[in-house]
């Protein structure tokens, strides 16, 4: 089970040279834990990559994938279909708020974002507003690694290597202001006014050129930045005023992370498009997608019926194994009431994480739903080094898996975590912070 040659695998979003000197390898997983090749248990503090919301290797999901693999290895969804695709789409639409009733499948969050951006531009073309091609993202936003997602994203490290990317893109300011928001549980009271910057952007470019605004309800990959109270509603109002589509990137926040099926429910705001991935299959099989409101979908359903309405798709859209995993995962969320469980756990989780505020060096802590970001100071001239050391020490010395964004420790455990495991996780992370300071 232990690989003897690490060189061939060029690892994604990884410091390859440092990793291969002291690897962190997992060979199996169950419920709240990974296990190393020699059998050491590693408490999962980050749901893999924000995706194993119901825990690892849950029996109903495993059984569904095994059954599907023996029935239909691949079913094309270009001009053909298979039952699982329609069943899962119906289940997703049923969970989504309002008239978000139509589901387009892809294979990842990055593909979901690029799909949503293309849908937005194509929607305006279909409704006679083909001048609307401009896209608005947000500073410190993460929307995957496609050229569209990088363009609207606002994380410098993801952008600086790849040139000009898409033209006609602008960015809202980040909603984070440590001076006025530090050590906030849930949505900060300060910051709704950051949405008003959209009025300035509209005035600069003219609303007739703007297709869509895309934001994460909670910016996760940049270190857990919750939307301020009233911020998303204000964005919705401005978008409605100028006929701009609003896209919620819920690749991270979807499927229980914030105590609801979608963060749109938590905030009482209905976007025109929602992107999803990760939690839809508990990470067991790659899948992503976009949920569209009725008016967006229906704008394409014109012209001769034999013609393709949207020239877009992926070979593996709605792959049979992914659909089987998705249906089984949704069953698990329902049968164990995991969204409500996450909502009930949130206060205990927030209090536990905030107990770390007096640890040496802690600059800020943010929590919302079952997520947390803990800012640590960068070492002079070596940004990110303290964060990398935290990952190493957590895994090798404390037996816990965490993520970092630069020098911010990020925790996003599976929604099945118990109070006792919360205490264990926070205790281990507290010791890691002490060691890296």
Cα separation, 247 vs 298, in Å, equals 17
In the prediction, which pLDDT does 3 show?
Answer: 66
* DSSP state string for 258-324: TSSSSHHHHHT---SEEEE-GGGTTTSS--EEEEEEHHHHHHH--S-TTS-SS----TTTT-HHHHH
Whether residue 384 is found in the same domain as residue 279: no
Q: Domain boundary residue among 335, 359, 386?
A: 335
Q: Domain boundary residue among 309, 335, 361?
A: 335
pLDDT 10s digits, 329-369? 999 999 999 999 999 999 999 999 999 999 999 999 999 99
Cα separation, 313 vs 51, in Å, equals 23
In the prediction, which pLDDT does 82 show?
Answer: 98
Whether residue 371 is found in the same domain as residue 415: yes
CATH number (domain holding residue 393): 3.90.1150.10
Position 6 in a domain: no
Burial class (CB in 10 A: 0-12, 13-18, 19+), 205: middle
Whether residue 328 is found in the same domain as residue 378: no
Residue ranges in the chain whose pLDDT is less than 70: 1-3
In the prediction, which pLDDT does 428 show?
Answer: 98
Q: What residues make up the domain containing 240?
A: 63-335
pLDDT 10s digits, 32-79? 999 999 999 999 999 999 999 999 999 999 999 999 999 999 999 999
In the prediction, which pLDDT does 40 show?
Answer: 97
Q: How far apart are the first and last CA of the chain?
A: 35
Whether residue 167 is found in the same domain as residue 249: yes
In the prediction, which pLDDT does 354 show?
Answer: 98
Whether residue 294 is found in the same domain as residue 370: no
Position 9 in a domain: no
């Amino acid at each position: 089970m232990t690989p003897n040659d690490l060189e061939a695998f060029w690892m994604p979003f990884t410091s390859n040279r440092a990793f291969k000197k002291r690897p962190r390898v997992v060979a199996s997983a169950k419920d709240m834990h990974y296990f190393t090749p020699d059998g050491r248990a590693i408490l999962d503090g980050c749901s893999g990559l924000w995706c194993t919301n119901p825990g690892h290797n849950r029996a109903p999901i495993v059984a569904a994938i095994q059954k599907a693999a023996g029935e239909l290895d691949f079913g094309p969804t270009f001009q053909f279909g298979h039952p699982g695709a329609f069943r899962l789409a119906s289940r997703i639409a049923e969970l989504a708020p309002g008239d978000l009733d139509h589901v387009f499948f892809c294979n990842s969050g990055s593909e979901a974002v690029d799909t949503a951006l293309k849908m937005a531009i194509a929607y305006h073309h279909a409704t006679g507003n083909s001048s609307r091609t401009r896209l608005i993202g947000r500073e410190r936003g993460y929307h995957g690694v496609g050229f569209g997602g990088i363009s609207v994203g606002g994380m410098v490290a993801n952008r600086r290597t790849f040139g000009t990317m898409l033209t006609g893109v602008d960015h809202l300011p980040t909603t984070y202001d440590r001076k006025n928001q530090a050590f906030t549980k849930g949505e900060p009271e300060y910051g709704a006014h950051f949405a008003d910057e959209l009025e300035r952007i509209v005035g600069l470019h003219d609303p007739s050129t703007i297709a869509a605004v895309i934001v994460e309800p909670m910016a996760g990959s940049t270190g857990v930045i919750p939307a301020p109270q009233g911020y998303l509603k204000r964005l919705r109002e401005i978008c409605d005023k100028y006929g701009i589509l609003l896209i919620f990137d819920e690749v991270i926040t979807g499927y229980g992370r914030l105590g609801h099926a979608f963060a749109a429910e938590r905030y009482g705001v209905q976007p025109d498009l929602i992107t999803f991935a990760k939690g839809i299959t508990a990470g067991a099989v790659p899948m992503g997608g976009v949920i569209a409101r009725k008016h967006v979908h229906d704008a394409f359903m014109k012209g001769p019926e034999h013609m393709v309405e949207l020239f877009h798709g992926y070979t593996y859209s709605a792959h049979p194994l992914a659909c089987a995993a998705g249906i089984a995962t949704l069953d698990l969320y329902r049968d164990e009431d995991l969204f409500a469980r996450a909502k009930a756990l949130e206060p205990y989780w927030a209090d536990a994480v905030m107990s770390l505020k007096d640890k040496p060096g802690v600059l800020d802590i943010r929590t919302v739903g079952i997520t947390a970001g803990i800012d640590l100071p960068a070492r002079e001239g070596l940004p990110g080094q303290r964060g990398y050391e935290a990952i190493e020490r957590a895994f090798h010395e404390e037996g816990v898996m965490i993520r970092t964004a630069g020098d911010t420790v990020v925790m996003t455990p599976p929604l099945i975590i118990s109070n006792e495991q919360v205490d264990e996780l926070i205790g281990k992370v507290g010791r890691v912070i002490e060691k890296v300071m």
